[in-house]
Chain A
Amino acid sequence: MPELLHRKLERTAIGFVLAIIVAASVGGIVEIAPLFTIDETVENADDMRLYTPLELAGRNIYIREGCYACHSQMIRTLRDDVERYGPFSLAVESRYDHPMLWGSKRTGPDLARVGGKYSDFWHVAHLTNPRDVVPESNMPAYPWLARTPLRLDDLGSHLRTQRSVGVPYTDEMIDNAARDAFGQAVPDSQQASGVTERYGEETQVSAFDGVTTRVTEMDALVAYLQVLGRLTKAAYRNTAAPEQPPNPND
């Protein structure tokens, strides 16, 4: 590219490129940089636990199927949002979410606190054919989830990668990832106790899809749905009142 550096005209082009970069980058830097110091101002959540391997696998299925395209996971600070879905979402609740799944469209309802709202059985029926439980629904059916075995062998590397982006999984968790995933979906197995030891007593161990002979993608997805909003209780301790939306009926 010597022709590029030597001619006088080219200086215009290069200068121009620099001007664009300068003009364009400041806005982003100003807004994004301070967010990396946010830990100081964010709410505290000492009780925050991590996703179990099974839940993480379920989260990846949620991503794969594009559930985020129709369901948000972000309850806004508005009164009607809070009354419909529960306490508004706090920053700390998605602290370990790589990526975040806040969503931008509610073709279906918000799922940020759906955990524990319905039974496992309901979820399995709903995912297999939504119109069996909600006749008016336009959600797609996911019948293949219950038929497809979950891939367990690489869960350890998933946890390890999560750790390299900042999620504090321990060596023990990484080494036992596949066992824990199995144990969480098969309550009577000997692997089951390890899950609560490593991830806390509140962890739900259950035959999510109703079948205990094998672990399917349905197990993983339901496990994930059941933990949504239940990694920490911080949101229930937060006492700030929700904002009033400009309500035409007021």
Chain B
Amino acid sequence: MGQLTTRERELAAAILVALAVVGIAMAAAGRADPLGVHGAIVLLYSMVLLFLIMSTSFGPAPDPSRVSRYYDDPIKVGVAFTLFWAIFGMFFGVWAAAQLAWPSLNFDTAWASFGRIRPAHTTGVIFGFGGNALISTSFHVVQRTSRARLPDQLSPWFVLFGYNLFCILAVTGYFIGVTQSKEYAEAEWYADLWLVIVWVTYFVLYIRTLARRREPHIYVANWYYMAFILVVAILHIINNLTIPVSLGHAKSYTIWAGVQDSMVQWWYGHNAVAFFLTAGFLAMLYYYLPKRAERPIFSYRLSILSFWGITFFYMWAGSHHLHYTALPHWVQNLGMTFSVMLLVPSWASAGNALLTLNGAWHKVRDDATLRFIMMAAFFYGLSTFEGSFLAVRPVNSLSHYTDWTVGHVHAGALGWVALITYGSLYTLVPAIWKRERMYSAALVEVHFWLAFAGTVIYVFAMWNSGIIQGLMWRTYTEEGTLSYSFVDSLLAMYPYYIARAFGGLLFLIGAVVATYNIWMTVRGVPVAGGERHDDIPLAGPLPEGAATRPAE
């Protein structure tokens, strides 16, 4: 925060004071309700930040030459948030997995019972880990590809800290029983409103940075980030239209009911997958893959085609979550059709990534970071194929409600989302901290194998259990009665639940290794001379070739 100007500091302080007042109001209005607890959290959060701002406010004025450099400080903090939420969310994942195998592991406490820590897991990994990774990398990518510094120094901080306040409110809420029960949108109305404010700021910041760009063409990674920001805003607002019981209640009732609610919810849910867990991470792929491999993307045109394909098709596919339900038949069929068509742009993206590496396989062999990215593209291809397959009604009649869905989810979440994130982080961290390389290449290698083994064990366990479960539910005896009771099918699941917890544990250990490695990299010495040769302001001595570029 050292680079904030006096005016920016004042503005930040004003925002934080206003936030603290909101916190007090919430605490007062919600005395008899969990809302009060959240008021106290908001108050505490804003006070801590206020203290941080105040304690630096008498420091020296920021260096005027800063405007000729990129603004990377928020990215550094964002990386720290990402690593924290990864461990938090995956720890809860492992815990939840263990509870399904050994139910007494919640120690009969309310806050730790499965139904409450499961959303803490999903929110922690998707919004905490994934969201912070998206925000941090987007700040990095948009500056580099636009050749422009972020337009001001306050809004990136507002976005970052505001977003994490949302995550904290959401996750703590589940522990104390605050939830809307809408999957991936469990946070209650006040947290949702706050997220809208944060998100609008994020959008404006992004557009303003693009507006300052020196490249006439907007690089395709930014398209994906833009789609992520925009569509998530639309989805979030529409799905979360609710009426609170009163201003002193955390509880609210959604305006949608029954079958409409189901369609709105899964239109949201599926596109949260599409624009949160796919579009944003494809943006990472399209930037960090060429960077790391030092080769241009195989086909730029293909990336454009698949961009529009994904943006367009995904929005139709949500109803594949509602096959054979009370949702009208034609909507189910529409969802199925578009889900199958989705395979085309999805595989175009995955193929584009793998073909980029064609001819550089020796690099993939030697560089674990690149292998992370390559494996991510592979799992992206796998999980989208699986997804399109599961969207076909007869297949879904077997898979729906079973662990097969969970296996599919984690093939995407671990194999694609988490691997691409770590691949990007290992590329990003040395770059913004001006280090020659990561602290330990061997630890990156160790992380890769832990993550890979963890994913494979997890996914295979769930494929097995899901398919067995689905088959047992529909097996008939000779006499035409159902062969197995529900409990029979549950009993068959236990070995797989244990295997899954083990696979998840490996993955979690990998995340801890990554955090340690990044921590040591940051603590290590910067590149000799203090700056990497490619990060000197224009006036300084330029390495050969660099000076000729900016002219265009």
Does chain A bind chain B? yes
Q: Which of A10, A28, A165 has most B Cβ within 10 Å? A: A28
B365-415 at interface with A (beta carbon < 8 Å): 394, 397-398, 400-402, 405-406
Residues B406 and A105 in contact, CB atoms below 8 Å apart: yes
Question: Contact mask A83-126 → B, CB, 8 Å, 1/0?
Answer: 11000111111111111111111111100000000000000000
Given A84-B473, A105-B401: A243 and B230 interface contact (C-beta under 8 Å):
no
Q: Determine the distance from Cα of A64 to Cα of B263 in the docked complex, in whole angstroms.
A: 22
Residues B113 and A166 in contact, CB atoms below 8 Å apart: no
Q: How many whole Å from B27's CB to the nearest CB in chain A?
A: 18
Is there a chain A Cβ closer than 8 Å to B227's Cβ? yes
Is there a chain A Cβ closer than 8 Å to B291's Cβ? no
Given A13-B211, A142-B113: A84 and B486 interface contact (C-beta under 8 Å):
yes
Question: Contact mask A183-217 → B, CB, 8 Å, 1/0?
Answer: 00000000000000000000000000000000000
Number of interface residues of A (CB under 8 A): 95
Question: Contact mask B175-189 → A, CB, 8 Å, 1/0?
Answer: 001111111000000
Give the nearest-CB partner of A26 in chain B: B315
Which residues of chain A have C-beta atoms less than 8 A from B114's C-beta?
Answer: 66, 69-70, 140
Which residues of chain B have C-beta atoms less than 8 A from A98's C-beta?
Answer: 253-257, 261
Q: Determine the distance from Cα of A188 to Cα of B320 in the docked complex, in whole angstroms.
A: 49
Q: Contact check: which of B265, B311, B476 meets A23 at CB < 8 Å?
A: B311
Q: Contact check: which of B204, B252, B321, B326 meets A91 at CB < 8 Å?
A: B326
Is there a chain A Cβ closer than 8 Å to B166's Cβ? no
Interface segment out of the listed A153-161, A172-180, A218-226: A153-161
Q: Determine the distance from Cα of A165 to Cα of B254 in the docked complex, in whole angstroms.
A: 7
Q: Looking at chain B, what size class is its interface with the partner chain?
A: 35 or more
Q: How many whole Å from B184's CB to the nearest CB in chain A?
A: 11
Q: How many whole Å from B75's CB to the nearest CB in chain A?
A: 22
Given A9-B216, A13-B218: A94 and B259 interface contact (C-beta under 8 Å):
yes
Q: How many whole Å from A146's CB to the nearest CB in chain B?
A: 13
Give the nearest-CB partner of B238 in chain A: A28
Given A9-B216, A35-B328, A140-B113: A24 and B249 interface contact (C-beta under 8 Å):
no
Is there a chain A Cβ closer than 8 Å to B51's Cβ? no
Q: Contact check: which of A30, A72, A101, A144 meets B316 at CB < 8 Å?
A: A30
Given A80-B473, A104-B321: A63 and B315 interface contact (C-beta under 8 Å):
no
Is there a chain B Cβ closer than 8 Å to A67's Cβ? yes
Interface segment out of the listed B82-90, B115-123, B352-360, B422-430: B115-123
Q: Determine the distance from Cα of A44 to Cα of B356 in the docked complex, in whole angstroms.
A: 58
Is there a chain A Cβ closer than 8 Å to B258's Cβ? yes
Give the nearest-CB partner of B104 in chain A: A141
Is there a chain A Cβ closer than 8 Å to B61's Cβ? no
Is there a chain A Cβ closer than 8 Å to B66's Cβ? no
Which residues of chain A have C-beta atoms less than 8 A from B406's C-beta?
Answer: 105
Given A20-B230, A100-B261, A140-B113: A84 and B482 interface contact (C-beta under 8 Å):
yes
Which residues of chain B have C-beta atoms less than 8 A from A239's C-beta?
Answer: none
Given A20-B227, A36-B260, A99-B265: A76 and B397 interface contact (C-beta under 8 Å):
yes
Q: Contact check: which of B223, B258, B312, B327 meets A95 at CB < 8 Å?
A: B258
Q: Determine the distance from Cα of A94 to Cα of B322 in the docked complex, in whole angstroms.
A: 14
Give the nearest-CB partner of B402 in chain A: A106
Interface segment out of the listed B132-140, B239-247, B503-511: B239-247
Q: Determine the distance from Cα of A243 to Cα of B110 in the docked complex, in whole angstroms.
A: 40
Which residues of chain B have C-beta atoms less than 8 A from A50's C-beta?
Answer: none
Q: Determine the distance from Cα of A25 to Cα of B196 in the docked complex, in whole angstroms.
A: 18
Q: Contact check: which of B115, B207, B318 meets A140 at CB < 8 Å?
A: B115
Residues B100 and A138 in contact, CB atoms below 8 Å apart: yes
Q: Contact check: which of A9, A91, A165, A246 meets B394 at CB < 8 Å?
A: A246
Is there a chain A Cβ closer than 8 Å to B11's Cβ? no
Q: Determine the distance from Cα of A42 to Cα of B326 in the docked complex, in whole angstroms.
A: 10
Known: A28-B267, A164-B243. 13 other contacts (CB 8 A): A16-B223, A25-B315, A38-B328, A76-B324, A78-B474, A94-B258, A94-B259, A95-B257, A105-B402, A136-B490, A162-B253, A165-B254, A247-B476
Give 20 pairs: A residue, B residue, CB < 8 Å, sorted on A.
A10-B211, A23-B312, A24-B234, A28-B267, A31-B319, A34-B328, A63-B180, A64-B177, A68-B115, A76-B400, A95-B259, A96-B258, A98-B255, A99-B265, A104-B183, A109-B486, A131-B103, A137-B490, A158-B251, A245-B394
User: Which B positions have Cβ atoms within 8 angstroms of A?
Assistant: 99-101, 103, 106, 108, 110, 113-116, 118-119, 174, 177-183, 204, 207-208, 210-213, 216, 218, 223, 226-227, 230-231, 234, 238, 243-246, 249, 251-265, 267, 308, 311-319, 321-328, 331, 334-335, 338, 394, 397-398, 400-402, 405-406, 471, 473-476, 481-482, 486-487, 490-491, 494, 497
